[in-house]
Structure 1
Amino acid sequence: MITIRDVSKYASVSVATVSRVINGSRWVSDETRKKVLAAMKELGYQPNSFARSLATNKSQTVGMVVGDLSGPFFGEMMQSAEQIVRMADKHLIITSSHGTVESESEAIEFLLQRRVDVLILHLDAMPDDKLIELCEQLRIPVVIVNRLVPTMEEQCISIDNELGGYIATKHLLEQGHRSIACIAGPIYKSDSRSRLNGYRRALMEAGVDYNEHLIVESDYTEEGGKAAVKELQERNLSYSAIFAHNDHMAIGAMGWLKSEGVSVPNDVSIIGYDDIIMARYVEPSLTSVIIPVSEFGRQAGLMALRLSGEQQDNVVLRFKPELVIRNSTCRYGR
């Protein structure tokens, strides 16, 4: 078995120099570093990751908490974060929180027990004050994804969800719709509250009264979208358009309406949010607000590396949502 002493002898340097190269120390000349790396390659030497972590007091791992391990939203985010982290020869450890304060706390504790160097957190249930308190107590850096937390703005990768709700609703208003229903996500989630605020602002600017009976709270799933639009029908209210807080609910609502003989978009226009890959393939294709989910993961990975001491390019902290117009919306009365 090849040891660090074999490498030092082969490269004609000290064991301490080989150790500094393995641990990424800057106190080694480029020429010496190349010579040591060449010796390691020639001899087939693989540094012991556990020993390396003891020497540097770092595990070379990044922990990530997401709401769910399934679905395109979190899948894209996890994949792009993992790619960035792996490029730095580190590993990403991922666990899910299932959307309660208790489970989010347990997920964080699970990662801390594995001595991760940085945490990337996508949390929905934990309130801002508790999250701020938690991060002040932790001894490792934290990156917050898809959320803007007061006093922690420089650690947050987020999007302007209020603006997203505004531009979605404004698009429907510009198409002549005045009775616009809203299928909201869980109101305890900050992104859902922000999108609802944007919806209300657009209505107010257009001089349209806000009608709370046109709002149905749901759960961001396709089945939730079906249940929500069914509830709207049971309320016996007139509406010509629906703004759903994510694409899954929009697609669910669209499917239920079509099964009831309602034409989309001729009878009811529908707009979603997230622009998941499925949005362009459903019939009719779904108008949606674009969230750069992959970029969320990528920027979170870059931020995590920067906070752990790796030199990185500038990180984009705040994104602006954009609207992609497809066939699920049209002018009122077309």
Structure 2
Amino acid sequence: MATIREVSKLANVSVATVSRVVNGNKWVSDTTREKVLAAMGELGYQPNSFARSLATNKSETIGMVIGDLSGPFFGGMMNSAENAVRKAGKHLIVTSGHDTIESELGAIDFLLQRRVDGLILHLDVLPDEDIIRLSDNSHVPIVLVNRHISELSDHCISVDNDTGGYLATQHLIDLGHTSIACITGPLYKKDARNRLAGYRRAIEQANLTYDDNLVVESDYTEQGGKTSIERLARRKLNYSAVFAHNDHMAIGAMNMLKKQGKSLPDECSIVGYDDMVMARYVEPALTTITIPVNEFGTQSAHLALKLGGEEMDDITYKFEPKLTIRRSTCRRT
């Protein structure tokens, strides 16, 4: 394996000059840089990445913490973030927070110990005040994705989940539904609380009665959607529509309603949230709230790079959800 001294000898420059080229020092002429790079290429010289990171205080990596390494939601976000980071000549290191404070803090510490140049955090349980303190005390830029904290507005990439919940519920109200069940995500998560707030706002603006009995807290899984429909049946409630806080639960709810003998959407309309790929292929195709999950990844990566000193285009900090109407909803007869 070639050494830095062999490169300096072939390029007829000092070892210090080779080191400056390797570390991206701008105080090297273009002619000298080209000579050094040519010598490195000829000898197959590979600089030690750890030594380079110590010299430049840059690891050329961005760390990302997400809730779950599986599923289409996080898969799309990770993929788009990795593409954006790779285009900037860096690498993305991803780990999971596993929905506990201890695990989220452990994941962050794991990445900081690897000297990442920035952090992209999708956190569900770590309190706002702890995240603010982390941002204030961290030596690297921190970006929050799918979460907004007012004190860190210029570090957040988010979607208006309150509006998303409102749009889903208002669509059902516009179709004549007056008794609408709501299957929420875990209410310790801010996105679930905001979607529920949007649901309640639409109900009350339509002069309908908000009924806690029509609300079931669940877990964002398909099985959770099935179980929620069973729970509603045990409550012996009459409802003609369901708003589920994600598509997984919506599909689970659809399957259980069919098992109960319900015709969809004639006897029960369903609205989901996220617009994952499967939403258009289930039967009936799922009406849902579309959010730009892939753009979350791209924009959070761009913001992390920008906060780290890279020149990036304008950042989109907040996205508006949109209603995508398919065949799982119809006018109440």
Shift of 1:308: 2.1
Q: Trace 1:148-163 onto structure 2 (pairs within 5 A).
A: 148-163=148-163
Aligned to 1:205: 205
1:128 and 1:150 in contact (8 A); partners too: no
Aligned to 1:104: 104
Shift of 1:31: 4.3
Shift of 1:27: 2.8
Aligned to 1:285: 285
What amino acid is aligned across from residue 328 of structure 2 in structure 1? Answer: S
Distance 1:13 1:188 in 2: 60
Aligned to 1:136: 136
Distance 2:32 2:182 in 1: 64
1:265 and 1:329 in contact (8 A); partners too: yes
Q: Does 1:263 find its partner at 2:263?
A: yes
Segment of structure 1 superposing worse, 94-103 or 247-256: 94-103
1:286 and 1:328 in contact (8 A); partners too: yes
Segment of structure 1 superposing worse, 310-319 or 33-42: 33-42
TM-score of the two chains, using structure 1 as the length reference: 0.95
Aligned to 2:230: 230
Distance 2:140 2:95 in 1: 18
Aligned to 1:310: 310
Q: Does 1:81 find its partner at 2:81?
A: yes
Shift of 1:202: 1.2
What amino acid is aligned across from residue 3 of structure 1 in structure 2? Answer: T
Shift of 1:241: 0.6
Aligned length: 333
**SS of aligned partner of 1:170:** helix
Distance 1:31 1:261 in 2: 77
Describe the shift of the 1:127–1:285 C-alpha distance in structure 2 as closer, same or farther (beyond 3 A).
same
Aligned to 2:3: 3
What amino acid is aligned across from residue 64 of structure 1 in structure 2? Answer: M
Q: CA RMSD in A?
A: 1.5
Distance 1:31 1:161 in 2: 54
| Unpaired runs of at least 5, structure 2 | none
Describe the shift of the 1:112–1:205 C-alpha distance in structure 2 as closer, same or farther (beyond 3 A).
same
Distance 2:310 2:17 in 1: 21
Aligned to 1:168: 168
Distance 1:232 1:29 in 2: 72
Aligned to 1:59: 59
Distance 1:42 1:261 in 2: 72
